[in-house]
Amino acid sequence: MAGDCDEVLAGMLRPGNAGANTAVDHIVVLDQAIAALPPVWRVGHRRGDHPDAAAKDLVVRADSAGASHWLAEDCRARNIGFSIGYQIDERVRDGLLFVDDDAWQPATDGHGADRPGAEVVELTDHVNLDAWPVGTRLIVRRETPHPGAQLTLFDTIEGKRHTAFITDATDDDIAGLELFQRRRARAENVIRDTKAGGLANLPFDCIVNNKTWMNLCFAAHDLITWARTISLTGPLRRATPKTICHRLLHVAGRTTPTCRRLDLDRTWPWTRHLIDAIARLRTAFASLTVTEHGIAHAAL
């Protein structure tokens, strides 16, 4: 599970035959993710806490593998919102038949403009959602399929690719809610980056050792992510850890005889970027302050 700053909050090693929609595993990971948050973000998000006790608003986003009643109910018990992918099943397809073309609204892109060829509609009144927590809404998106997209028979007949999600958000802007759900794909980027950092292959035949390896990969990913956020600018600020390792961490260098300076290869194309990044890190560390909770903050 990843946070909004792309750091890893929690993870779980599971058998290779484990189902993607195993609700009990989702509950365990959610519990671990909340425990990894700073104290002020955890207030009011224990099971049974009064909604007014929540100091910060939290929202759980997941793809359709997380569409279980148990996870949604656990989010509600913790005063946490949810936005979860939903399968396009027979009920959803039947509901779409009752929707007029005039009811579809343009989808929104990342810049707030209309997304060409994509539309959204709310199906809450056309699909029975009584099994889900009170206030659950169903929103569907349709778009012109890109070349090579895998379409269902229903999509092929309609000529559009359909995706759906459920949410308990009360915002009337369904295009904004759909954009928020679509941005969940950042979690896929975190998975890609942790795999590039060593998680693609577990080196041990012991689950305990492999779990330690997994946590080390998470720690390495988070260190690079936060270092990138604090010290890099321009395109490198959005670069993957793999790119950062190649361009910045692989630069040749040597220590001086007094070991007080590091001479870097001046011909390396990104040496200047690395020097500037080190200077920004030093500035950030120089401005660190420690709160009463022992948490260090930098004035960036």
Whole-model pTM: value is 0.81
What is the predicted pLDDT for the residue at 289? 57
Rg (CA), the chain: 23
DSSP 8-state secondary structure symbol assigned to residue 201? S
The two three-digit tokens of residue 128, written as one number? 């029975």
User: Which positions ≥6 away from 195 have C-beta within 8 Å?
Assistant: none
What is the predicted pLDDT for the residue at 299? 42
Q: Which residue has the higher pLDDT, 97 or 262?
A: 97
Query: Is residue 186 a contact partner of residue 6, using CB atoms and an 8 Å limit?
Result: yes
Look at the chain and count its residues. Answer: 300
Closest CA to 266 of 281, 250, 253, 248: 253
d(CA 142, CA 120): 6
Closest CA to 247 of 287, 276, 222, 217: 276
Query: Is residue 224 a contact partner of residue 252, using CB atoms and an 8 Å limit?
Result: no
The predicted model gives 57-65 an average pLDDT of 93
Query: In the predicted model, is pLDDT for residue 300 greater than 50?
Result: no
User: Tens digit of pLDDT for each residue in 137-167?
Assistant: 999 999 988 877 778 878 787 788 899 999 9
Query: In the predicted model, is pLDDT for residue 39 greater than 80?
Result: yes
What is the predicted pLDDT for the residue at 155? 79
The two three-digit tokens of residue 114, written as one number? 């209309």
The predicted model gives 40-58 an average pLDDT of 93
Domains of the chain, by residue range, sit at: 23-187, 205-297
Query: Is residue 75 a contact partner of residue 81, using CB atoms and an 8 Å limit?
Result: yes
What is the predicted pLDDT for the residue at 101? 87
User: Tens digit of pLDDT for each residue in 119-129?
Assistant: 999 999 999 99
At residue 286 the predicted structure's pLDDT band, cuts being 50, 70 and 90, is confident
In sign, the C-alpha dihedral spanning 71, 72, 76, 77 is: negative
d(CA 187, CA 110): 16
What is the predicted pLDDT for the residue at 292? 45
